[in-house]
Amino acid sequence: MPLDHTHVPHASSWLASANGHPDFPIQNLPYGVVRRKGSAEAWRGAVAIGDQVLDLAALSAIHSLGQPADSALRLAALPALNAFMAAGPATWSALRHALFEVLSSGADEAARHAARSCLMPQDEVEHQLPTRIGDYTDFYTSLHHALNVGRLIFPDKPLTPNFQWLPIAYHGRASSVVISGTDFHRPHGQALPPGAAAPVYTPCTRLDYELEMGFFIGPGNALGRPVPLADAEQHIFGMCLLNDWSARDHQFWEMAPLGPFLGKNFCTSISPWIVTMEALAPFRVPFERPASEPQPLPYLDEAGNRARGGVDVQLSVSIETGQARAQGLPAAQITRTSFRHQYWTIAQMLAQHTVGGCNLQPGDLCGTGTVSGPTPEEAGAIVELSLGGSRPITLAGTGEQRTFLQDGDAVILRGWCEKEGAARIGFGQCRGTVLPAI
């Protein structure tokens, strides 16, 4: 997507909190679905701006943006964003530009008054999933993650033969995708203890997080009609943070030969705001594949993807233990990396997903797989940081140690984009807390 006036770094809003906001300046305008906390109000589409939320249903009722933006606004104001996502890039762009004008410092007084009356403080709203997620697919596309985990199981041959030839994935469980802030109970399942001849049924003893990003499907494709790589991003609405919680003891036992299954299907958390691909345009980077490594087959290779297929999203993981919470201490950051390290791009993931004729639908969710960087400190899962549980990591603040997650631990993912000559934009956070097994 080309850069335009909505990306200009010095653009400002009449809403003071938006100017210089680390996540939600006027250059971002991410979408979510909200209502007032504790109310029985209808859910409706919204946009984050500074420390406020712009209620799109309220705006649609009192102010005209002109066509085609008004039609787009009505779709984005619904209790789920599926129809808006299905409308495609021209519709998304029309609404982004219109909302930018209403919220910009150059907006006329009538537009300011209308938008101001539709604002709600972010800390006074609650979120639900932004779409009706019909299907959820999780990829496995970080070379560094694959090597780190593979070496724990197969030290001499950590990569599967197909990893460098295609974006690997499995179909996950859409019903257990939850919005950030939803806590979950430690799952039960079968595991094979070290040295044992038979498995045991037990609560998970090796509970892990996975630092991922998610992307939402816009227009779908017909059954049997693959999406060419050159067209793939026309089918991607935007991105979010995603935590693919993992029961490692259950997962490693059951993945012989199929899976993952129960080791992954008990909970997947996503952040509430979807940052559009248009907002991410200033932060695109080349897709690079060293000449010494296998090059993508022609259907997974294309000049545009080579030039700008990657996205440079800075990512971090922090753990807030029960002890830190009781003492009022901040969460301890344990990982910092970037999505630009991913071995396959999101366009390649989508093209691979459809190459056999699979029909994606608006609002479907895809996970990118764990995001790990080239250094040990950039590992995107605790199984990597602790070397499979053999080396405890020490948390700043309390000095507590972890090999895997304990009850009461909250894991917090954060993501943001920043570079010289562009306004910083962010994803907010994705948070979940481990509750005891029941």
- List, by residue number, the catalytic residues: 145
**In this structure, what are the phi and psi dihedrals at residue 170, rounded to the nearest 5 degrees?**
-140, 155
How far apart CA 12 and CA 334 sit, in angstroms, is 34
Q: Which of 368, 373, 369, 367 is nearest to 335 (CA)?
A: 373
The single-letter code of the amino acid at 128 is: Q
Helix-helix angle 69-76:89-103, to 10 degrees: 90
The angle subtended at Cα 34 by Cα 244 and Cα 17, nearest 5°, is 95
Encoded tokens for 183:
């806590």
**In this structure, what are the phi and psi dihedrals at residue 111, rounded to the nearest 5 degrees?**
-65, -40
Contact residues for 212 (Cβ-Cβ < 8 A; gap 6+) = 138, 241, 242, 243, 244, 367, 368, 369, 370, 371, 380
The single-letter code of the amino acid at 161 is: P
Cβ atoms of 268 and 174 within 8 Å: the answer is no
How far apart CA 346 and CA 351 sit, in angstroms, is 9
Helix-helix angle 89-103:109-116, to 10 degrees: 100
Q: Which of 246, 170, 165, 243 is nearest to 207 (CA)?
A: 246
**Strands 268-270 and 177-179, sheet pairing:** parallel
SS3 255: coil
**248: part of which helix (H) or strand (E)?**
helix 248-254
